Amino acid sequence: MSWLRIRTVVRRHYLVLWRQPNRWFDIVVWPLFDVLLFGSLGAFVAQENGASRATAPYLLAGIMLFHVLFQCQIAVATGFMEETWSRNLLNIMTTPITEVEYAAGLALYAFVKLVMAMVAITIAALVFFGFDLTAVGWSLVPIVGSLLLVGWAIALVVIGMLLRFGQSAEILAWGLNFVLLALSGVFSPITALPGVVQPVASILPTTYSFRAMRTVLDGGDIPWNDITAGVAGALVACLLSYGFVVHMLHVFRRRGFVTRFS
Whichever of 85 and 165 has its CB closer to another protein, that residue is: 85
Return d(Cα 140, Cα 49) in angstroms, integer. Answer: 28
Should residue 164 be labelled a site residue for another protein when binding is judged by CB under 8 A? Answer: no
Residues of span 20-59 touching another protein by CB under 8 A = 20
Query: Is-contact 163 257, C-beta < 8 A?
Result: yes
- Distance, CA of 162 to CA of 171 (rounded, Å): 10
Distance CA 185, CA 19 (A): 37
> Considering only 2-10, 52-60, 139-147, 228-236, which stretch makes contact with another protein by CB under 8 A?
2-10
SS3 state of residue 213: helix
Considering the rule CB under 8 A, would residue 176 count as an interface residue with another protein? no
Give 20 or 202: the residue with its C-beta nearer to another protein: 20
Rg (CA), the chain: 19
| Cα–Cα distance for residue pair 17/13, rounded to 1 Å | 6
Q: Quick check: 258 binds another protein (CB under 8 A)?
A: yes
Applying CB under 8 A, which part among 42-50, 82-90, 110-118, 134-142 lies near another protein?
82-90
**262 counts as binding another protein under rule CB under 8 A:** yes
Residue 95 in the binding site for another protein (CB under 8 A): yes
Considering only the stretches 33-41, 80-88, 160-168, 182-190, report the one whose residues sit in contact with another protein under the rule CB under 8 A: 80-88
- Please provide the DSSP assignment of 138-190 as one string: TTHHHHHHHHHHHHHHHHHHHHHHHHHHGGGGGHHHHHHHHHHHHHTTSSS-G
At closest approach, how far in Å is the CB of 13 from another protein? 10
Which residues would be at the binding site for another protein (CB under 8 A)? 2, 4-5, 7-8, 11-12, 15-16, 19-20, 82-83, 85-88, 90-98, 250, 253-256, 258-259, 262
